């Protein structure tokens, strides 16, 4: 009897563990990078609530050559949100309800997944909640999308060690990117895309660069233009000198940032070619690398005429944010 009792207990615990594992399992989320499933009734979507959702979640991204939304939105009514559609990585759920609330749920139907929930007893309450909580939800969505993009890089990485040998850093760089130019204080990496190229450049500046806050933006432009003139030539045009500069008509947008645990500045804007009609977006990180007494500069820029560039620039951003100081 003692033997059978022990056997019964072991089987009970085994079955219980299996049941627990089944309950804990979540399917892998799906969806293109920067895509967003918006679940809400058609009446709401076609009215002021839908306009407010588009105002926040389809707002144009700063620093691109033309307006592109930060998310590609796919609207679906609740009755369609079943089966595989519930496995979307980023979901916004909006509804009239007896509750007035706004929050974010993690891995509700799949993993990784973020579900932003906006409810209200009236359309006015829903709109108020969207105004109050959209920034927080968008930040959560973008973090999830960034992590997903960086995870996909691991499928095939570039094994070149030039970044380590020159700057004592590493990047999670997909193997499709190739080292194009190596100088004493400059590395240019690129990949071919339809109609153009995606590019990463790395260089260092002295630690005491940018000491004057009042001229910070001008100093960034001056730095970029000098690097462009020295290292990034434009097309070969007779009797003209062509090279990359910062667009003269508009100053870049500049924000505080943190990269690999270090304080940094983020600049977004448009590059152009001196003496030639060519332009595109750039993203520059100026990182305070005090341990090495320098400002490390990481920049991504895209050349792709007549092509949407949001996802190209997002990929470059995702790569740059994987930097590790060795």
Residues 324 and 316: their CA atoms lie apart, in Å, by 15
Compute the radius of gyration of the chain from its Cα atoms.
25
The confidence score (pLDDT) of residue 305 equals 94
Residue 22: predicted pLDDT = 52
pLDDT digits (tens, 9 = 90+) for 127-148: 999 999 999 999 999 999 999 9
CA 58/CA 68 separation, integer angstroms? 8
Is 183 a residue whose pLDDT tops 50? yes
Q: Rounded to the nearest 10 degrees, how much is the dihedral formed by the CA atoms of 319, 230, 183, 324?
A: -30
Query: Could you tell me if 176 and 288 lie in one domain?
Result: yes
Average pLDDT, the chain: 93
Same domain, 84 and 187: no
**pLDDT band (50, 70, 90) for residue 5:** very low
pLDDT at 223 over 80: yes
Considering the domain architecture, whether residues 176 and 148 belong to the same structural domain is answered as no
**Where are any strands of DSSP class E within 222-275?**
244-246, 253-259, 262-273
Percent of the chain whose predicted confidence (pLDDT) is above 70: 93
Query: Do 220 and 127 share a structural domain?
Result: no
User: 139 and 176: one domain?
Assistant: no
CATH code of residue 295: 3.40.1000.10
What was the pLDDT predicted at 100? 95
Q: Quick one: 212 and 148 in the same domain?
A: no
Q: What's the CA gap between 201 and 131, in Å, rounded?
A: 38
Contact 299, 200 (CB under 8 A): yes
Last residue of a domain, one of 130, 153, 176: 153
Residue 303: pLDDT over 60? yes
Check whether residue 146 and residue 221 sit in a common domain. Answer: no
Domain boundary among 124, 153, 182: 153
Q: Reply yes or no on whether the pLDDT at 15 is more than 70.
A: no
Distances (CA, A) of 126 to 57, 94, 291: 15, 8, 49
**Amino acid 170: pLDDT:** 97
Residue 106 lies in a domain: yes
Do 125 and 187 fall into the same domain? no
* Residues 280, 192 share a domain: yes
Q: Which pLDDT value is given to residue 211?
A: 82
Mean pLDDT throughout 255-271? 97
- Condensed to tens digits (0 to 9), the pLDDT of residues 52-90 reads 999 999 999 999 999 999 999 999 999 999 999 999 999
Residue 299 maps to a domain: yes
Domain hosting 264: range is: 162-325
Assess if residue 2 is contained within a domain. no
Q: Given 121, 153, 185, which residue is the final one in a domain?
A: 153
Number of domains in the chain: 2
Q: What does the block give as tokens for 159?
A: 């094994």
């Amino acid at each position: 009897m003692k033997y059978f009792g022990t056997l019964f207990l072991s089987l009970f615990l085994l079955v219980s563990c299996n049941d627990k594992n089944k309950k804990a399992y979540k399917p892998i989320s799906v969806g293109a990078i920067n895509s967003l499933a918006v679940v809400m009734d058609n009446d709401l979507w076609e009215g002021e609530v839908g306009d407010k959702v588009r105002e926040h979640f389809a707002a144009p991204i700063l620093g691109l050559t033309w307006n592109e939304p930060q998310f590609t939105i796919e609207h679906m009514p609740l009755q369609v949100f079943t089966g595989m559609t519930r496995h979307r990585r980023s979901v916004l759920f909006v509804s009239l309800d007896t509750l007035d609330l706004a929050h974010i749920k993690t891995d509700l139907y799949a993993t990784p997944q973020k579900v932003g929930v906006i409810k209200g007893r009236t359309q006015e309450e829903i709109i108020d909640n969207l105004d109050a909580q959209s920034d927080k939800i968008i930040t959560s969505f973008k973090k999830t999308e960034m992590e997903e993009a960086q995870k996909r890089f691991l499928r095939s990485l570039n094994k070149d060690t030039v970044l380590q040998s020159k700057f004592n850093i590493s990047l999670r760089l997909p193997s499709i990117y190739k080292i194009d130019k190596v100088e004493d204080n400059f590395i240019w990496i690129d990949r071919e895309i339809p109609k153009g190229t995606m590019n990463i450049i790395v260089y260092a500046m002295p630690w005491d660069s940018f000491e004057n806050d009042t001229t910070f933006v001008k100093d960034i432009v001056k730095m970029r233009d000098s690097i462009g003139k020295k290292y990034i030539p434009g097309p070969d045009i007779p009797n003209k000198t062509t090279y990359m500069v910062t667009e003269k008509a508009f100053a870049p947008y500049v924000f505080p940032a943190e990269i690999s645990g270090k304080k940094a500045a983020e600049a977004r804007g448009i590059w152009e070619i001196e003496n030639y009609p060519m332009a595109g977006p750039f993203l520059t990180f100026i990182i305070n690398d005090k341990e090495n007494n320098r400002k490390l500069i990481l920049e991504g820029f895209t050349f792709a005429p007549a092509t949407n560039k949001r996802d190209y620039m997002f990929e470059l951003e995702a790569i740059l944010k994987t930097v590790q100081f060795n």
